[in-house]
Amino acid sequence: MKSKIMLVVMSLALLVSGIFMTSHQEIAKAEEKKVYQIGTDVTYPPFEFANSSNTEYIGIDIDIIKAVAKAENFEVRILPLGFSAAVQALDTGQVDGVIAGTTITPDREKKMDFGTPYFNTGAVFVTAQNNDSIKSMEDARGKRVAVKTGTAAANYGIEQAKKYDFTVVTFDDTNSMYQDVLTGNSAGLFEDMPVITYAINQGTPLKVSSEANTTGQYGFSVKKGQNKELLDAFNKGLEKIKQSGEYDQIVSRYLGKDALELQKQQKESESTFGGLLKVNGTALLDGLKETLTLTIMAIFFATIFGIVFGLMGVVPSKILNGISTTVIYIFRGLPLLVLALFIYTGIPSLTGVKIPAVVAGIITLMFNEGAYTAAFIAGGIKSVDNGQMEAARSLGLPFSKAMRRVVLPQGIKLIIPSFINQFIITLKDTSILSIIGLVELTQTGKIIIARNLEGFKVWAIIALIYLVIITLLTWASQYVERRLSK
């Protein structure tokens, strides 16, 4: 009898324990928030830009998506890719959504599903303050007019070009577009009203020369036919933050009078080279670290790649010689920019496998720099007198040992200076990888300029950093050459 009672008690205990554990697991599962990766621009204030300490990305778009995520109980990981890279990453499935001042257009709706529009924007024609000869679009006939890729203003500008017969030139970042007008290369530009308002209040010597065309709308986007759950959550969350008044607070935070005054004060603190370095020194050092890391890793793998295909080019095998020649021809012939975009966006779109930007960048440099390394390794070995190999073989050494003991030591002396020069080239080539969203030194400069619009000063500092590093590497190359010549 006692054993039966004990059995019943134990069964009840196990049942209660099971219910408790199941309930606990369900609660934990319910409390676990889903994390979405959201691509965004980094150079489009006041919608997306770095804060004054360059420690995080802020702006109307960033604050909206974070507020929506909080309201709908999910989390977002912001990926500051740049507009073009963000859109391509969405198309290849590397991000779940994009919020980057993306204008809703019929063409984009073919590849993207948009949520409820969250901002109405107006495009305006803008000219330099000191240009009295261009007062309207009519005065720009037969001249160049600048636009930024992907903006509502760009679409409006292209439409007006047909009417007023001016030539539209496109830029990937805002500051370059502004500078093209300020230097007189373009008669004017088309810009979204809130963006140009921010720039003018920052002290940029531009002026609005037309009425706003308020037909554009910004929308949060996901890939066509995918992530409907995320899109629905965005729409619900947007409605919630509008009803609560948080949406208006976000917009006022960046476009209100107090915000504009704060932006002007921050601009003044970076008006000198000393101020720029004080505010942005840490960000520039981080960008430099990323550049050097990419360079070192790329050179490491490129060296292995180059040795393999370089040796394949000199061994007594026509098949291996042909493979080496073909590989070198392909990767030296492809522009680095095209290769980077193909690896980062082209391959994932074919295979469905995501490739992180860092990995794509290193692979890009490995192929490109490795092809050049293979070419000068093969060239260095071939430049060793043929008699050296013949003499070694006549002494009974097999080809591999003769190559390792006799030819290679002589060829290496010729290769090392070229190798150091290739390191310098790789260091400079890392700047191209900003196109896929890597925040190396060049991209860091773009991010800083987007906030303070001090293009000349920032690029001068970055140019000096590159110059110092390249000078040190050049001295190292010359030192090695002198030692080898002795």
Is residue 4 over pLDDT 80?
no
Superfamily in which the 273-485 domain is placed by CATH: MetI-like (1.10.3720.10)
Q: Could you please report the per-residue DSSP string of 193-209?
A: HHHHHHHHHTT--EEE-
3-state secondary structure 319-367: HHHHHHHHHHHHHHHCCHHHHHHHHHHHHHHHHCCCCCHHHHHHHHHHH
In which band, very low, low, confident or very high, does the pLDDT at 15 lie, cut at 50, 70 and 90? very low
CATH topology of domain 119-217: D-Maltodextrin-Binding Protein; domain 2 (3.40.190)
Q: CA torsion, points 309, 310, 312, 315, in degrees to nearest 10?
A: -170
pLDDT at residue number 249: 92
Torsion sign (Cα): 21, 22, 25, 27: negative
3-state secondary structure 267-300: HHHCCCHHHHHHHHHHHHHHHHHHHHHHHHHHHH
Q: In this structure, are residues 224 and 107 in contact, taking their beta carbons and an 8 Å threshold?
A: no
Neighbours of 414 (CB within 10 A): 16
State whether residue 36 is helix, strand or coil.
strand
State whether residue 58 is helix, strand or coil.
strand
Contacts of 243 (CB under 8 A, 6+ apart): none
CA distance 462 to 484: 33
55-88 in b/e burial notation, b at 16+ Cβ within 10 A?
eebbbbbbbbbbbbbbbbebebebbbbbbbbbbb
CATH topology of domain 34-117+220-257: D-Maltodextrin-Binding Protein; domain 2 (3.40.190)
pLDDT at residue number 261: 62
CA distance 122 to 159: 14
Q: Do the first three CATH levels of 119-217 and 273-485 match, i.e. the same topology? A: no
Residues 351-393: tens digit of each pLDDT: 878 888 899 999 999 999 999 988 888 877 776 666 666 666 6
Q: In this structure, are residues 419 and 370 in contact, taking their beta carbons and an 8 Å threshold?
A: no
Angle among Cα 76, 450, 65 to the nearest 5 degrees reads 20
Q: In this structure, are residues 124 and 157 in contact, taking their beta carbons and an 8 Å threshold?
A: no
State whether residue 212 is helix, strand or coil.
coil
Q: What is the model's pTM?
A: 0.73
Task: Indicate the range of 81-85, 86-90, 256-260, 463-467 predicted with least confidence.
Answer: 256-260
Is residue 29 over pLDDT 50?
no
Q: In this structure, are residues 260 and 201 in contact, taking their beta carbons and an 8 Å threshold?
A: yes
- Cα separation of the two ends of the chain: 101
pLDDT at residue number 27: 42
CA distance 322 to 313: 8
* Both tokens assigned to 174: 């805002």
Q: Which residue has the higher pLDDT, 481 or 368?
A: 368
Distance of CA 152 to the CA centre of its chain: 21
Task: Enumerate the domain spans of the chain.
Answer: 34-117+220-257, 119-217, 273-485
Q: Which residue has the higher pLDDT, 238 or 43?
A: 238
CA distance 424 to 439: 19
Q: CA torsion, points 346, 350, 355, 361, in degrees to nearest 10?
A: -30
Residues 66-125: tens digit of each pLDDT: 999 999 999 999 988 888 888 888 988 889 999 998 888 888 899 999 999 999 888 899
Give the chain's length.
Answer: 486
**Dihedrals phi, psi of 421, to nearest 5 degrees:** -60, -35
Torsion sign (Cα): 175, 181, 185, 189: positive
